[in-house]
Amino acid sequence: MIVGLGEWGLHYRTIEEHCKITKDFGLRYLELGIGGDFPGRISREAGQKEIDEVMACLNDYHILAPYVALENDFTLEDPEAVQQSKERVAGDIRLSAKLGATHVRLFTGFELASNMTEERWARMIGAFHEMHALCSKLGLVISIETHGRNTPVGNGFIHEPTTSTDWACLQRLLAELPPAVGFNFDPGNLKACDPARPLTDYAKLLGSRINYCHLKDWKPVDNHWIACAPGDDDLDYDTLLKAVPFQGAYLIEYEQTGDVIEGIGRSLNYLRSIRPDLRVE
């Protein structure tokens, strides 16, 4: 099992800090992020100088960054808003290619699955076909994250099913998307959206379409969920990972920014306890 670091949770720190933290933990794989006003994300307007600086930083720390997280919503009701999202993503995909990425994380979007009309569904599927065509030209593949709609409550979130976490929608996505479009399997997000369904069901459903993976957990508190490390709550990764055929780098995504170093450490300790074969490359 190969392990690396996801970028969310580190997004308030610079990319050089991301690289240093990755190296300090003895890891080699790091997820990059594009878009958003955070010190740890690459600007959509990045020119060649900034690209060269990022690549030099990765090289100096001997870090590999094949996975890049992008931001989008293809489930919006307004067709013009979806068009604008597609245009932003197309630019981000081109930038990801310049950064040497192989996989780009996308969302389906954050509309509730229950609110999706056939018209909105068709627009979403069409957007993915367009982005897939661009990725194919540039040598990239798409990874759709299993991610619900998150509404802030206290120090956590309420999770509600979207098109990438609802069981029936996932079945339909698998049937209607190009076969090369894969999924960023985030079992923590799936747990918080549908605690009753065994996560091994999702692993078996997505199967070989899993081409990217985030590792975290969510802890239930009152009527919401608080992000935590693998091993902090009851998500049984030992059993689950046996059902996941993915052979790439599993990315620890510890979301709490206040104790992110400690959280990454706990995550690694837990993963090493269940996977003695854990390695960095």
Please give the chain's pLDDT, 281 residues, in tens. Answer: 999 999 999 999 999 999 999 999 999 999 999 998 899 999 999 999 999 999 999 999 999 999 999 999 999 999 999 999 999 999 999 999 999 999 999 999 999 999 999 999 999 999 999 999 999 999 999 999 999 999 999 999 999 999 999 999 999 999 999 999 999 999 999 999 999 999 999 999 999 999 999 999 999 999 999 999 999 999 999 999 999 999 999 999 999 999 999 999 999 999 999 999 888 77
Residue 64 resides in a domain = yes
For residue 66, the SS3 value is coil
pLDDT score recorded for residue 172: 98
Contact 216, 230 (CB under 8 A): yes
Give the CATH number, domain containing residue 197. Answer: 3.20.20.150
For residue 47, the SS3 value is coil
- List the Cα angle 155/157/162 in 5-degree steps: 165
Number of domains in the chain: 1
Q: Rg (Cα) of the chain, in Å, rounded?
A: 18
Would residue 232 be called left, alpha or beta, if left means φ above 0 and alpha means ψ between -120 and 50 degrees? Answer: alpha
- The residue range of the domain holding 179 is 2-256
Contact 34, 69 (CB under 8 A): yes
Instruction: Work out whether strand 32-33 and strand 29-30 pair parallel, antiparallel, or are unpaired.
Output: unpaired
Cβ atoms within 10 Å, residue 256: 15
pLDDT score recorded for residue 281: 74
Residue 266 resides in a domain = no
pLDDT score recorded for residue 241: 97
Contacts of 236 (CB under 8 A, 6+ apart): none
pLDDT score recorded for residue 218: 98
Q: How far apart are the first and last CA of the chain?
A: 9
Helix (H) / strand (E) element for 133: namely helix 118-138
Residue 265 resides in a domain = no
Contact 31, 65 (CB under 8 A): yes
Residue 161 resides in a domain = yes
Residue 263 resides in a domain = no
Residue 261 resides in a domain = no
pLDDT score recorded for residue 36: 84
pLDDT score recorded for residue 280: 76
Residue 122 resides in a domain = yes
Residue 168 resides in a domain = yes
Would residue 15 be called left, alpha or beta, if left means φ above 0 and alpha means ψ between -120 and 50 degrees? Answer: alpha
Distance CA 14, CA 41 (A): 8
Distance CA 226, CA 121 (A): 30
Q: How far is CA 4 from the centre of its chain?
A: 13
